[in-house]
Amino acid sequence: MFNSENTGTDIPEISMVDPEVLRDPIAAYGRARELNPVVKLQAPGFGSIWAVTRHADAKTMLNDPRLGMTADSWNQRIPEDIRPYLLTMSHMDGPEHTRLRRLALRAFTARRAAARRDLIRHNAEQLLDALPGHAEQGTVDLLKHFAQPLPTFVVGDVMGIPAPDRPRWREYVAGMSSGGQTYDEALRAAIGGAREVIALRREQPGDDLISDLLRAQAEDAGQISDTELITMVWHTVFAAQDNLANFIANSVVALLSHPEQLAALRKDPDLMPRAVEELMRWRPPLLLTAIRYALEDFELCGAQVRAGEPVVAVIASANRDPRAFADPDLLDVGRPPGAAVHFGFGHGAHYCIGASLAFVEAEVALGALLSRFPDLALAVPADQVPRLPNPGSWHLTALPVTL
């Protein structure tokens, strides 16, 4: 798994297709962290990527102006007709990023997230009501019937997507999550869906993000272009649905496989906000940050990085760095707040704009689920819950449980 031979350097290298890395990337990155503050990831299609493994170094790196987003961050091998719609806000820096982020933040403030708590609870309860009807041979796929549809309902409300169209958006996101040719087709469909809902909100504006963006565009066309608007619609839905569905599912597995933590949370539901923070630290849906590129030659944790070379922070190892967290591999839903903050939602200028809403959704979803089904249990051992073999994310493909 680790290799520094014939490289002329003592920087460890990790193959991202190594079976051991694919089986347990969190453990692999943790071992790398204790070897060196920076390693090289060998990634098919990307070549060699510098990866910062420790918490303090990752925090510094994510704020370093010598690293930034470039065309290489988003200009992938994608058909020409959809390539312009890959330049998302997450792949921008500086004034362009600030301009679009300011517009999107209107829908994701902590106040507006809190105001949606009752709506989220209503949607969660409806999904939980239907779960027994989905049981097959005594088991229910909680990913398919709860963790995935809930974020779709919520982000659909935020964006202004009509309720009957939201299941279709769930299909778009599922297709993009699968990768390969399916990604191209699903993204093309999502772009079409974005055009449709934008046209609808031009005719029937409401209290939603798309309507807000259209009003901003009408006031000053320079605030957001049509291409940027379409891109923001599909990308916001994708990020809000895919990452949160994975997080909810990962959290359920974590709690059900740690009965003492589950018991503590059932005994004291007021621990839920701390539990959500801890679960995001312990088992985040994304294990690596987005790729940034060196804008000049510089030294990174003792390594010489050249202009144009890609760099990431390893969320999975930084979140379990013993230099930042006591007993970092221990899941503790009562963990008190400390000086160190996890990177589950990123850090710095690219901190996730939907974090406040995601916390509310996760709190409500987990609270409602645990309250409704006191005998909830995994239908298979935790290490046999199916997951994509992906070194960049912890992404379940199903979550079989018994109610």
- Would you list the domain boundaries of the chain? 2-402
Which of 61-75, 112-126, 218-232, 339-353 has the lowest average pLDDT? 61-75
Query: What pLDDT, on the 0 to 100 scale, is given for residue 71?
Result: 63
**Residue 296, number of CB atoms within 10 A of its CB:** 11
Query: Would you state the structure tokens that stand for residue 250, as one six-digit string?
Result: 């990962």
Helices (H), 343-382: 355-372
Which of 165-179, 212-226, 309-323 has the lowest average pLDDT? 165-179
Q: What is the CA radius of gyration of the chain?
A: 21
* pLDDT at 3 exceeding the cut of 70: no
**Residue 321 near residue 54, CB atoms below 8 Å:** yes
Matching CATH number, 2-402, of 1.10.3720.10, 3.40.50.1370, 3.40.50.10860, 1.10.630.10? 1.10.630.10
**Using one digit for the tens of pLDDT, what is the confidence trace for 344-388?**
999 988 889 999 999 999 999 999 999 999 999 999 999 999 999
Query: Would you state the structure tokens that stand for residue 34, as one six-digit string?
Result: 């204790």
Answer left, alpha or beta for residue 138, where phi above 0 means left and psi between -120 and 50 means alpha: left
Query: What pLDDT, on the 0 to 100 scale, is given for residue 339?
Result: 74
What is the C-alpha to C-alpha distance for residues 277 and 319, in angstroms, rounded to an integer?
Answer: 11
Query: What pLDDT, on the 0 to 100 scale, is given for residue 221?
Result: 83
Average pLDDT, integer, range 285-300 = 94
What is the C-alpha to C-alpha distance for residues 219 and 211, in angstroms, rounded to an integer?
Answer: 12
**Residue 378, number of CB atoms within 10 A of its CB:** 18
Sign of the torsion angle spanned by Cα atoms 263, 269, 275, 279? positive
For the chain, what percent of residues have pLDDT higher than 70? 95
* pLDDT at 75 exceeding the cut of 60: no
**Residue 388 near residue 148, CB atoms below 8 Å:** no
Average pLDDT, integer, range 20-42 = 95
Average pLDDT, integer, range 247-269 = 97
* pLDDT at 17 exceeding the cut of 90: yes
pTM score, whole prediction = 0.92
**Using one digit for the tens of pLDDT, what is the confidence trace for 222-249?**
899 999 999 999 999 998 898 999 999 9
Query: What pLDDT, on the 0 to 100 scale, is given for residue 5?
Result: 41
Calculate the alpha carbon distances from 373 to 103, 147, 350 in Å: 40, 15, 37
**Using one digit for the tens of pLDDT, what is the confidence trace for 121-147?**
999 999 999 999 998 888 999 999 999
* pLDDT at 297 exceeding the cut of 80: yes
What is the C-alpha to C-alpha distance for residues 329 and 402, in angstroms, rounded to an integer?
Answer: 27
Query: What pLDDT, on the 0 to 100 scale, is given for residue 74?
Result: 57
